[in-house]
C-alpha cells in the first residue's frame, strides 16, 4: 500500500469527524508495519475488503470515547447498547468514503464488531499494514488498514 493510498483513509477519517461528530481530532503520523502487533482496544469495527484490493480495515476505540461520540452525535445520554452500532457506523462510513476515491473495484463488507480487547489481530503474510493513531477530544483510538 502506497502512502498516498493510506492518506485516502486519513482524509476520510478527518472528513467523517468534521462533518458528523465535531470536536478536536488530532491525527498522528500514519506508519506502516509488517507486524501483527497492531493497536486494539475495547471495541473494534472491522470491514473486509475484496475486489481490486484484498484485506481489511478496522477502527478500534475505548468505551469512554464511544460514549462521548454518542453524546456529540446528539444522543441524550450514554447508552452502552449503542457502542457496537457507533463503532460499526464509523468504520463503515470511513471505508465507504475511501471507496469513493478508490473506485467500484474496492468492495467493502458490512462491519463486524468485536467487543472486548482482542489479544491479537492476525493478518495474512505479505500484506501491508498501515496504522493511523488519532486522538479525538482526548480519547485515543486507531484506524488500521491492511491491504494487498
Residue 143: pLDDT band (50, 70, 90) is very high
| pLDDT tens readout for residues 24-79 | 999 999 999 877 778 999 999 999 999 999 999 999 999 999 999 999 999 999 99
Long-range contacts formed by 27-31: CB under 8 A, 24+ apart: 27/132, 27/133, 27/134, 28/132, 28/133, 28/134, 28/135, 30/3, 30/6, 30/130, 30/131, 30/132, 30/133, 31/130, 31/131
- Whether the pLDDT of residue 120 is over 70: the answer is no
- Rounded CA gap, 135 and 13, in Å? 12
- Rounded CA gap, 70 and 64, in Å? 10
**Closest-CA residue to 62 (of 110, 12, 125, 134):** 134
**Closest-CA residue to 136 (of 70, 45, 40):** 70
Segment 136-148 mean pLDDT: 95
> pTM here?
0.93
Write down the pLDDT at residue 67: 97
CATH of residue 17: 3.40.1550.10
The residue range of the domain holding 73 is 3-147
| pLDDT tens readout for residues 95-117 | 999 999 999 999 999 999 999 87
- Rounded CA gap, 60 and 141, in Å? 6
- Contact between residue 133 and residue 144 where contact means Cβ atoms under 8 Å apart: no
The structural domain count of the chain equals 1
Amino acid at each position: 500500500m502506497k502512502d498516498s493510498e493510506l492518506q485516502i483513509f486519513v482524509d476520510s477519517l478527518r472528513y467523517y469527524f468534521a462533518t458528523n461528530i465535531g470536536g478536536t481530532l488530532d491525527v498522528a503520523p500514519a506508519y506502516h508495519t509488517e507486524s501483527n502487533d497492531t493497536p486494539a482496544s475495547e471495541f473494534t469495527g472491522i470491514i473486509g475488503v475484496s475486489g481490486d484490493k484484498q484485506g481489511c480495515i478496522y477502527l478500534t476505540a475505548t468505551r469512554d470515547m464511544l460514549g462521548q461520540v454518542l453524546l456529540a452525535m446528539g444522543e441524550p445520554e450514554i447508552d452502552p447498547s449503542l457502542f457496537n452500532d457507533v463503532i460499526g457506523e464509523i468504520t463503515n462510513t470511513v471505508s465507504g468514503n475511501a471507496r469513493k476515491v478508490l473506485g467500484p473495484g474496492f468492495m467493502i463488507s458490512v462491519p463486524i464488531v468485536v467487543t472486548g480487547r482482542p489479544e491479537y489481530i492476525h493478518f495474512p503474510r505479505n500484506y501491508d499494514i498501515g496504522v493511523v493513531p488519532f486522538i479525538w477530544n482526548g480519547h485515543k483510538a486507531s484506524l488500521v488498514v491492511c491491504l494487498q
